Amino acid sequence: MVRVGIIKERRENERRVSLVPADIKKLVSKGIEVLVERGSGEGAYFLDGEYEEAGARVLNDAKEVLSNVDILIKVQPPSLEEAKALKEGAIYIGFTRYWENPEYLNVFSERGITAFALEKIPRTTKAQFVDVLSSQATIAGYKAVILAADLSPHLFPMLTTAAGTLKPAKVLVIGVGVAGLQALATAKRLGALTFAYDIRPAAKHDAQSVGAKFLESPVWAEGVGGYARELTEEERRIQHEFLAKHIGNSDVVITTAQVPGKRAPLIITKDMVEKMKPGSVIVDIAADNGGNCELTKPGEVVEYNGVKIAGPLNVPSSVPRPASEMFSKNMANFLELIIKDGQIKLDFGEEILEKSLLIKPGVKNE
């Protein structure tokens, strides 16, 4: 019988859990045994009793889980200690932050562990059912708008009342990937006037499809795999000139821009913030990766010339319940790729497994 396990996420500010009871129930019904460390779901308000009812075995100690499972599913990369405790030859599925060359990857290699890095899942329509980058970015985009609405001294909708007419807030979203699109849709639903900016041509149509006005600059910079590429010095200068006036006209700016494998691009400079009206707000959800605004302080809200700049970290974890539900559904789907007829069968010719494979015995694929 294949044994799948989850343990409590111990990284600071991590409230998500990698499998929720509803998905475990389905796994158990397919003959998979699931081991859960006690308290794993607490941060997202999934109780041990719910895991037990779903058919999981709840164990007191992470080591008991780690030493007994064939497949470990995690949100955050494991600690060195956790990696050392994982059963030899087991499979790890989770975020890895492999580009930082963490030490635990050597331990994985030594212990013959096969690791799938969720950061490497292809960003295609076919891979959406396992794409945690997309599911978690959806949550982050939504929450960014809620944070912005809370920090802003304005209301988002236009209101016509006996006490007069209030203008709608102008919300500009910079970076229209998955998070940016959800931010635009959320701000629109709250009644804001929405504007979008990106350097990938496909983003224009995407932004328009959720009712935003796309700000079209002369800079287009599509990279590989659907991602953006880093801008050249000259392109950055043109972008800066183009964006400055639009940023100055916005009540709220939400930034989500990322370039794979690099620090998040610096798009909003101090002089641009100086052109914003007092009371304006920037929510920079690229803060985990350095931020898109020069004044962002990751994990803080700072105020400069009356402009509030928030750099929230690990935003999906701040909405842990749906973030865990979506993560868990993606992971239950991932398991279907590797467990066939109750047995682990790794077909490395399958595109998603091939692309997301980080380590297998004798092979490193960083």
**Residues tagged active-site:** 123, 128, 131, 134, 227
Name which position in 101, 125, 160, 161 contacts ligand NAD (CB under 6 A): 125
Nearest to 204 by CA among 234, 173, 225, 166: 173
Minimum Å gap between C-beta 188 and ligand NAD is 18
Instruction: Tell me if residue 226 falls in helix, strand or coil.
Output: coil
203 binds ligand NAD (CB under 6 A): yes
Minimum Å gap between C-beta 137 and ligand NAD is 5
58 binds ligand NAD (CB under 6 A): no
295 binds ligand NAD (CB under 6 A): no
133 binds ligand NAD (CB under 6 A): yes
Task: Determine which helix (DSSP H) or strand (DSSP E) holds 150, and give its type and residue range.
Answer: helix 132-151
247 binds ligand NAD (CB under 6 A): no
353 backbone φψ class: left, alpha, beta (φ>0; ψ -120 to 50): alpha
Q: Which is nearer to ligand NAD, 33 or 230 (CB)?
A: 230
Name which position in 68, 109, 128, 365 contacts ligand NAD (CB under 6 A): 128
75 binds ligand NAD (CB under 6 A): no
Q: Which is nearer to ligand NAD, 8 or 236 (CB)?
A: 236
Q: Which is nearer to ligand NAD, 90 or 203 (CB)?
A: 203
185 binds ligand NAD (CB under 6 A): no
Q: Which is nearer to ligand NAD, 76 or 255 (CB)?
A: 255
Rounded to an integer, what distance in angstroms lies between the CA atom of residue 133 and that of residue 120? 9
* Only segment of 4-12, 93-101, 224-232, 293-301 that touches ligand NAD (CB under 6 A): 224-232
289 binds ligand NAD (CB under 6 A): no
Residue with the CB atom nearest ligand NAD in the bound state? 177
Q: Which is nearer to ligand NAD, 226 or 361 (CB)?
A: 226
118 binds ligand NAD (CB under 6 A): no
130 binds ligand NAD (CB under 6 A): no
Residues 6+ apart with CB under 8 A from 145: 171, 183, 186, 187, 190, 254, 283
Name which position in 58, 174, 310, 353 contacts ligand NAD (CB under 6 A): 174
176 binds ligand NAD (CB under 6 A): yes
In the chain, where do the E strands start and end?
Answer: 3-6, 33-37, 57-59, 71-73, 91-94, 114-117, 159-161, 164-166, 170-174, 193-197, 213-214, 252-255, 281-284, 301-304, 307-310, 339-340, 343-344, 357-360, 363-364
Name which position in 148, 267, 282, 339 contacts ligand NAD (CB under 6 A): 267
Q: How buried is 362 (Cβ within 10 angstroms: 0-12 exposed, 13-18 middle, 19+ buried)?
A: exposed
DSSP 345: -
Rounded to an integer, what distance in angstroms lies between the CA atom of residue 330 and that of residue 337? 11
Structure tokens that stand for 278 in this block: 């007092």
Residues 6+ apart with CB under 8 A from 12: none
Residues 6+ apart with CB under 8 A from 356: 116, 117, 118, 120, 121, 122
Binding site for ligand NAD (CB under 6 A): 123-125, 128, 133-134, 137, 174-180, 197-200, 203, 226-228, 231, 256-259, 265, 267
